[in-house]
Structures are given as C-alpha cells and as structure tokens.
Amino acid sequence: MGLSYKEYLLNESGVDMISAEVQNYLSALETERRNVQRIRLTVEEILLNIKEYDKTCEKISVGMGRHFGRHLLRLRYESEPFDPVEDSEDSWVNGMMRQWGYAPAWSHRGRVNTVSLILDDRKKRNTAFYTIAAVLFAVLFGVIGLLFPKALRKDICDILLAPLADGFLGLMKTFSGVMIFLTLCSGITGLADSKTLGRMTGSVLRRVLLLSLAAGFVTVVLIRPLVHLGSSVSMHIDKGTFKEISQMFFGILPSNIIEPFQNGNILQILTISLLLGIALLAMKDRGNTIYRLIDEGAVLSQNVISVICSAIPLFVFVIFLQQIWLGNTQTLVSAWKPLLLINLFVVVTTLVFWIVSAMKLRCSPVKLLKKVMPPCLIAFTTASSLSAMTLSLETCENKLGIKKKVVSYLFPLEYMLYRITNIVYYLVLVFCLAEMYDVAVGLPWMLMAIILTLLMAVATPPLNGAGMMVYTIMFSSLEIPASAIILAVGIEMLSDFLFTGCTMLMQILHVACEAERLGALDHKILTDDLV
C-alpha cells in the first residue's frame, strides 16, 4: 500500500481539514490519544509555518499511507527552499532525531518542498511476529526433515542454507560499516550548528562517556566469576599480553581508506569517521554542501539497513533449521543462562541507578519512582520507547520540575547517547557466548569487548534491526561464531520488554540528574505529593 495524496487549500479551513484527516487516520491505527494530539499539533504548526513563510503558496498536497512497513504523512508544497520544522536552538539534536525517524524530516527538490513524518511505526512489532513465526516454522520443518536421511539434510544445509545465511551476514556487515561511518560523521558535523554546545552538550557528552566506560568495567568485573571459561581464559600478564594490547590499540589506524570497509573493521571505520568529522568541523560554513550530502547519505544507509533487516525472519528460519538438522539443539537450550544473567544485570543496574539518583535529587526513592513510572510502564508493555516519549517529556516537565527548554534539549540528547543498559546487555551476552562456544578469552579480548560495546552503543542509531547489526560486527571482532546470532536474536526478543522499560527509566532519571546539576530543576515540584 502506497501513499494516497489529496490536495487542500492552504488556509484556515484547509489546515482544519488536514488536521481532522490526520486524527482520523491515527484513530484508525488505534494510536494512543496523547500521541494523536501531539502529532496533530505538530502537523498544524508545520502548516501554519508554511502559510506564514510563503503567502503565495495557496495549495498543499497531503499524502498518508503505509510505506516500507511504516505509516507516513507527507506534505508537498511549491515554494523557495524552506524548512518549516527547523529549530535553530537545538538543530543538532533535532537533526539526529529526524534522521532516525523520530521527528519531521524536510527535503527540497526543484521548487517542491517535502516534509515527512512517521505516524505510527509498526515495523518492530511486525518483525517480532514474523520472527516468532519463523522459529515455529523452523521447528516444524526441522522435525519433518529428521525423517529424511542425514546425508540429504547435510547437503541441503551446505548447498542452500549456509550460503543464504552467509549472504545475509555479508550484506549486513557491508552496509553496517557504511551506515555507522555516515551517521557518526553526520553527528560530528552537526555539532557545528549547535548553539548550546559550549554550555551543555560538551559536559553531557563527557559525563555520559565516563559513566558508560565505568559501567563497562564494573560489568566485566562482576560477570567474570559467573561464567566458566575454563582452559580458554588467559589472565596471565606478560610481555606478550602487552604486545597484544598495543597491537589492538594501534590497529585502529587504517593502512588505507578502503580496506576497513572491505573487512568490516569497525574500530578503523570509527577512526576514519572521527578524523573526517573533525576536518569538516574546521571548514565551518565552507562545508555546508558536504554536511548536507553526509546527512542524506546517513538517511539512505539507514534505509538500506532497514530493508536488509526486513529479511531477519528468513535468516532466523535458516539458522534455526540448520541447528536442528545438524543436531546442535543443545546450544539453543543452553540459552537460558545468558537470558537469566542479562535480565538480572539490567535490573540490578537500574535499581542501583534509581537509588543513586534519588540520593542526588534529595527525593524519596518511592516518590521518585511513582512519578516516573507511567512512561516506563508504556515502555514495559509495548517494548517501544517511542510510544512513551511524549509522556516522558511531560513527566520530566510537570512531575519532576525540569524547565521545558532544558527538557526539550536534554531528553533527545540522552535518548541518543545514554545507553548504559545496552553496554551491560552486550557485555553479559558476549561473555556468556564466549563460555558456550569456548572462545579464547584474555585481557586483550576483554578490553576489546568493553571498547566495542561502548562504541557500538553510542554510534548505533536506535533503529529497527540495530541489534542484528551490532551482533554481526561484535561477534566477528570477538571471534564468536556467526551461528551464535540466532541465540542473540532470541534473547533480545525475550528481553525486549524489560530492557526497554529499564532503559526508559534510567534515561528519565539521568535527565533529572543533569537538570539538577544545571540548576534547571524545581525541587518543590519534584518533592510534592502530586503523582
């Protein structure tokens, strides 16, 4: 189903008609009432901005429908280039949110301006449904296939299933590096437009980075005694160990610009993007054209990844069927341990941060939890942080007493960068998989795991399928077999609701702590009894 376009007069009655159409469309999708109101107000503001900017623009074309699994709204109007959703105060944050589909995106070609807005993203839920269906079909075909000769099953795996799985992983690895490169470059160059960088962004970035690094080291220290790495682990520190660590750190310097993308060396790709981003920052206004090209490239690469990730159910079916036919089901059964430990570590991390935040904010932990729980419950029950975003912003402002301007800037920034739960999740996962697959683990491996989880948590956009991309890159770098991805996907599906809720809780609390540090928090509102 494509977008269905209608033409309206750009006047007061036309704006009202468009708003009503949007509301009816969202109601048909059973969108939550508060999100319907938010989207309707956003659309009205965009339309009024267009009307105010160009008095000669009399008509506007409005398209709504499903496009690549997402319900979209598109506004098209003829005028000189004009972005009706631009916010000069928070241009960097809003720019990143637009790239990821969480805010209206504007483009211009010829004399036609286009504004796109995701109305309701059902892709995540559809992917989960089809993935579960893929597992059930794999079990069914796997059991039926056991009736055929073992040699035939092995031939099918070698000739058909293995090439399919390898092809999917190859595509994912190829475009993942390109996407991360462009996304990070876009983020760095966007700093040039951030008027609040000197006052707020720099200090937030430093604290988030240090907190993430500390969380990584603490997680490694705590998870190490809980996994039995046996003879594969080597903690002996000698000249050879220091040499390995030295090679690892200096290995982030690429010998040429092509090889890192060919080999999927994520550390070298990140190094290239960092150097290029800094160089572009030095160009200032002279790099505007390049900035725009990088932004468009980032959006394009993310769309490519989304298309590739639409084949995740097929990949799950193929890998799961392989495991059954090759007699490796014992590995699938043993996934209970990483599942248990991941959820335990995420919950404990969240509880500790909740208590520490209450102490910093000088507020009763119980009262603080009651105030922030409503948006977290939405995240817990839907496994969608986007669904809870509107209520999260209202909670920060109305229940925690954070100034609206600070909330509008800090919350999207924290949403993009604050990934403590991701770091804990990934580290526990790779340690458990190292135990299951008898991967050689030593001090260099542990340091590499911490660095990779930190970089991937920060550099990976919160897109559908991002988990699969992270597993592909991390497992390749840490020498964990690609077949382990099926376990990672299954664990992610079972942990998603709890993980999303805990992440939302920590992000809201961290916004409150940052607002307290900036003196932008009203303690009277925070500590009152109105919940």
Read off the pTM.
0.78
Tell how far CA 477 is from the center of its chain: 20
**Per-residue DSSP letter, 235:** -
Asked if 73 and 101 touch (Cβ cutoff 8 Å), the reply is: no
CA contacts within 13 A on the Cβ side of 238: 3
Say whether pLDDT at 342 is over 80.
Answer: yes
DSSP 89: G
Cα(477)–Cα(369) distance, integer angstroms? 39
Helix, strand, coil tally for the chain in percent (to 5)? 75, 10, 20
User: Could you tell me the residue ranges of all domains in the chain?
Assistant: 3-121, 126-527
Specify the CATH architecture of the domain 126-527.
Answer: Orthogonal Bundle (1.10)
Name the range with the highest mean pLDDT among 32-36, 182-186, 275-279, 514-518. Answer: 514-518
**Least reliable range by pLDDT among 145-154, 184-193, 218-227, 423-432:** 184-193
- pLDDT bin (cut points 50, 70, 90) of residue 222 is very high
d(CA 488, CA 486): 5
For residue 214, the 8-state DSSP code is: H
422 touches 144 (CB < 8 A)? no
Could you give the CA distance from residue 395 to residue 370 in angstroms, rounded to a whole number? 11
Q: Which residues pair with 107 in a beta bridge?
A: 114
**Rg of the chain in Å (alpha carbons):** 24
d(C-alpha 260, C-alpha 274), whole Å: 14
Instruction: Enter the tokens of residue 381.
Output: 């029950």
Sheet containing 70-78: order of strands: 3-9, 59-67, 70-78, 112-121, 105-109
What are the beta bridge partners of residue 73?
64, 117
Specify whether the CB–CB gap between 134 and 314 falls below 8 A.
yes
Cβ proximity of 99 and 183 under 8 Å? yes
C-alpha–C-alpha distance, residues 86 and 383, integer Å: 30
Give the distance, in angstroms, between the CA of residue 127 and the centroid of all CA atoms in the same chain.
Answer: 15
Q: What are the tens digits of pLDDT across the range 370-416?
A: 999 988 988 888 777 777 777 888 888 888 888 887 887 777 777 77
Contact criterion met (CB below 8 Å) for 58 and 9: yes
Phi, psi of 462 (to 5 degrees): -80, 70
Ordered DSSP codes for 478-507: TT--GGGHHHHHHHHHHHHHHHHHHHHHHH
Residue 103 per-residue DSSP state:
S
The rounded distance, in Å, linking the Cα atoms of 105 and 117 is 7
Beta bridge partners of 72: 65, 118
Class of the CATH-defined domain 3-121? alpha beta
pLDDT of 494 higher than 60: yes
Q: Is 75 helix (H, G, I), strand (E, B) or coil?
A: strand
Tokens of 303: 């769309």
pLDDT in tens, 176-216: 888 888 877 776 766 555 444 445 666 777 788 888 889 99
Give the DSSP H or E segment for 109: strand 105-109
Residue 63, pLDDT > 50, answer yes
Higher pLDDT, 471 or 292: 471
Q: Where are the alpha helices (DSSP H) in 54-122?
A: 91-99
pLDDT in tens, 302-323: 778 877 887 888 888 988 888 8
358 vs 347: CA distance, rounded Å: 17
Q: What is the pLDDT of residue 124?
A: 53
Helix and strand totals (H; E) in the chain: 22, 7
- For 407, the enclosing helix (H) or strand (E) is helix 404-417
Q: What pLDDT does residue 312 have?
A: 84
Measured distance between the N- and C-terminal CA atoms of the chain, rounded to whole angstroms = 43
Residues 6+ apart with CB under 8 A from 154: 325, 326
Topology agreement, domain 3-121 and domain 126-527: no
